[in-house]
Structure 1
Amino acid sequence: MNELKYETPTFEVPHRYGMPVINLYFYVGLISAILLRSIIIADHYSAFWGKAIWYIGVVGYLWFFTHRYHIAKRRFVVVKNLDLLEKVRNRQKLSDKDLEGLEYLLCSLSVSKERANYLIISVLSIVAIVVSLSLDLGILKL
């Protein structure tokens, strides 16, 4: 993991993304979650639509989770480059750059919609399981 630590005095703390970008990725993730969980219904009507929805949902998830990886990597690099964890553990005085890094991390975490996304994905998964079981057991007919 040392390859992500850049030992330069000119390390720049990244700027957080604006709300339009945050909302875009939230909705990409949400729509992908809905699509992937609706495959079970689409398959009852048409194998073509089941496959089409699967591809669109997976491409959306790929886009969404690539973005989430990028965010996690940016946060990790800030913590590592500024040695923030060690400084906080040792109760060291923080420089202005350290405080800027902490502000970035806290802002990034506070505006993130990942908590809502995880909740929605969990609820949609439960609904998909119930619908799938109902269809498989003949309780629900489409």
Structure 2
Amino acid sequence: MEEAGRLKVPHTFPSLVIDSFFVLGLFSALMFRILILFTQWQVHWFRPVWYAGVVGYVFFFAFRYYISRKRRKVIADYRLAEKLKDETALSREDRDALLYIVDSIRKSRENINYLFIFGLSCLAILLDLWMHW
């Protein structure tokens, strides 16, 4: 992130990349939640569905880890927490770094992903209880 002795503020990914990983996360969550159906009716599909979920999550969570690490690096490199705590005046580069972090969080669809996972998990539990009642 350094360029000729100066830090270079990263940019957020294009919407297509963000949306693709969002869909991959939703797909993986769905694969894990529908496994309950395959244990009862289509046992031969269990492993392919499980692998689809695991492989999807490997890529999804690797991407999420990369984004989180990138944000933390910007905070550390620019010493943003210290500057805000000490009420130090922020330079133009500091403001750009903060803007990157804010834009990155704002563009993220992780809150929808968490809600989707929560809803599917509740549905999977109810479905399993219904099937075994």
Among candidates 11, 25, 28, match of residue 29 of structure 1: 25
Normalised TM-score (structure 2): 0.94
Distance 2:131 2:46 in 1: 15
Give the counterpart of 1:73 among 46, 53, 69. Answer: 69
Q: Is 2:46 the counterpart of 1:46?
A: no
Amino acid at match of 2:124: A
Q: Residue in 1 aligned with 2:100?
A: 104
Moved over 6 A (4+): none
**Aligned residue in 1 for 2:119:** 123
Once the 2 structures are TM-superposed, how far is the Cα of residue 129 of structure 1 from its aligned partner? 0.6
Unaligned runs of 5+ in 1: 1-5, 138-142
Letter in 1 for 2:13: Y
2:13 maps to which of 10, 14, 17: 17
**Residue aligned with 1:92, SS:** coil
Q: CA deviation at 1:45?
A: 1.8
Which of residues 79, 88, 91 in structure 2 aligns to 1:83?
79
Q: Please give the alpha-carbon distance, in whole angstroms, between the structure 1 residues aligned to 2:5 and 2:85.
A: 22
Deviation at 1:96, TM superposition (A): 1.1
Residue 15 of structure 1: SS of its match in structure 2?
Answer: coil
Please tell me the residue identity of whatever aligns with 1:95.
S
Code of the residue aligned with 2:17 in structure 1: it is V
Please state how far the C-alpha of 1:80 moved relative to its aligned partner. 0.3
In 2: Cα distance, 1:80 partner to 1:104 partner = 14
- In the TM superposition, residue 42 of structure 1 has moved relative to its aligned partner by 1.4
Identity %: 36
Aligned to 1:92: 88
TM-score (ref. length: structure 1) = 0.88
Query: How many pairs are equivalent?
Result: 131
Q: Kindly provide the CA deviation profile for residues 56-106 of structure 1, in whole angstroms up to 9, marking residues without a partner as x.
A: 011001110000000000000000000000100111000111011001000
Letter in 2 for 1:68: R
C-alpha RMSD of the superposition: 1.3
Distance (Å, rounded) in 1 between the aligned partners of 2:88 and 2:5: 18
Deviation at 1:46, TM superposition (A): 2.5
